[in-house]
C-alpha cells in the first residue's frame, strides 16, 4: 500500500516538474534561436525529453501500448505543440 502511495506522489511530482518547465519551443524562442542552431537545440531537447519520459514510464511500470502512449504524450508536452 505504501509503495502505491509513493508511486502516485512520485508520478505527480514528475508531471508537475514537466508542466512547470518551459517547453523546448518556448526556450528556443527565449534564446531567439534560428536556422541550424534552432534545429540542433530542438533535436537535443527532444532527445533529453524522450530519455526523461522513458525513465518516468519505467518508474510507473508501464509497458507496451501504455508506455508508448505515455512517452509520446510526455515528449510532445515537453517539446511544445
Count of other CB atoms within 10 angstroms of residue 81? 6
Answer whether residue 36 shows pLDDT above 70.
Answer: yes
Is the pTM above the cut of 0.85?
no
Model confidence band, residue 12 (pLDDT cutoffs 50, 70, 90): low
Cα dist. 27→11, 22, 70, 73 in Å? 24, 6, 23, 19
Q: Once rounded to an integer, what is the mean pLDDT over residues 43-67? A: 94
Domain carrying residue 52: 2-79
Q: How many domains does the chain have?
A: 1
Rounded to the nearest integer, the mean pLDDT of the chain is: 84
Amino acid at each position: 500500500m505504501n509503495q502505491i502511495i509513493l508511486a502516485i506522489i512520485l508520478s505527480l511530482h514528475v508531471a508537475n516538474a514537466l508542466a512547470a518547465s518551459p517547453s523546448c519551443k518556448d526556450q528556443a524562442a527565449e534564446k531567439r534561436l534560428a536556422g541550424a542552431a534552432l534545429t540542433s537545440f530542438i533535436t537535443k531537447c527532444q532527445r533529453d525529453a524522450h530519455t526523461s519520459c522513458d525513465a518516468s514510464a519505467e518508474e510507473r511500470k508501464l509497458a507496451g501500448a501504455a508506455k508508448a502512449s505515455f512517452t509520446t504524450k510526455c515528449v510532445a508536452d515537453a517539446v511544445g505543440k
